[in-house]
Structure 1
């Protein structure tokens, strides 16, 4: 009996020491002991009172977080949502990858939106909305819709980039760097399909899914080459010359119904033009979504086009597009 009591006391003392040690660690030290996140890519857990979820506040959240993802052949939501009540937000729910917590109470002291990371798991992102009324919460969410969506999108992108860097194919990256002076990080499974001084084609192909990165390089002369009209015409010519279809006189081209969209973006210190749209094959029945990052090299001698695309006729495309888009976002000059 005495030995048993001694053993239980020793275990309790050891657990107490571990808890105290964890509490005294710096935040970065603490993160290494957190469990890994759960949930599938593109999922968001919304923690909210059931009545609010079924009312106007829930409608606002669904409109913003589960709205239509742009430039896909079929309708897909930006994120897949599921919800838990505050009382049920325990256990495995705490480990979810993307969490939106809606805290509505007259006792809320500070209203607003707060972003935190790695509270219960890693790499995790938590968006907390605090308001005194559901109407105030709805207004906060509407006014900050881009911030909320972009925060979760960036968290998903960061996870994919980290995975690409961890499991990269160094030979592919070295070949691209040798050609254009920098490269994205390509995860294992992507292989070089074509390699010329002005054009490279890297892809991962399975029975029903083709994820590709096309890299174009051409001389830079002036800023007019970065306008939407010029870039659309230029990419059409580059596709026609370099990306043939399966049939005679077939080649990659733009969807004839939906024009591509353009944005000027800055990421990782690089200013670039984003072109996003739908591609198809002239004289054939293939097609899918694409996204391009377009920018001059540091010496302003050449323009680089990083063109990510997906062909997955049997499946939803959002997941596959996010994967290849994260690859071109990982581009780094060397």
Structure 2
């Protein structure tokens, strides 16, 4: 397989999903979105990465969590989501770089159990063993990237927004939508010398107020990274990780738990493989994260299975 085949893929794992700080321990940016070869140039034309995402996490029963209009403690959450990311990569340079546009959306299910519901609609208080589950669709996430390549060194800037059209009800314990608008801006770097790869992406999220709950999430900062080695021309193994830190507190009348600033770290393994389907080069990646050092946020593990499918003809 040619060296250029390895580099057509990227921005594949840029997508938000549900995680359980911010309101309800849920941030717009899902740590781990950026992964292998994140800033490397992509093959021009249409592609459609598909991503299956599973997360399982829980939060200490001594900590309360705002879920919509309710406050719960001892929260456990599980989610299974399938994302489709139709992407168009332009062949003509923009500002000397390669531009791409995507729209991200998902369908799936999520379930939440709480040891205690401390407050809720219609004046309910101290309800034990509360639970909720939901199947539906996510918000929409428009994404734009601009990448530059200089030999083994690659650079990227990106912007991603949240359009709150997904399944959301402030009186539920679980939602697939956020209920508010968000904008994330950042940049990334990839070193790739045909055998070894290292990528890091740093970004910051601004959130608008959730008018359903009068809750405004603070500003979030995040760093996603990947390091891998190609054991053959088409297969690589390595590590992935992330650092997530809320840098300003939550606010608004609905922020009854105070600034609720959150953080979490994670690390885990990854395996990737390029393979031919007819004349096309497809890519599959499996990665997992074990979380630790969480504060005001659920902690657990998550897994991502990505299949990147080119739709144009092979050059």
- Fold conserved between structures, TM > 0.5: no
Task: Select the structure that is richer in helix.
Answer: 1
TM-score class, shorter = under 0.3
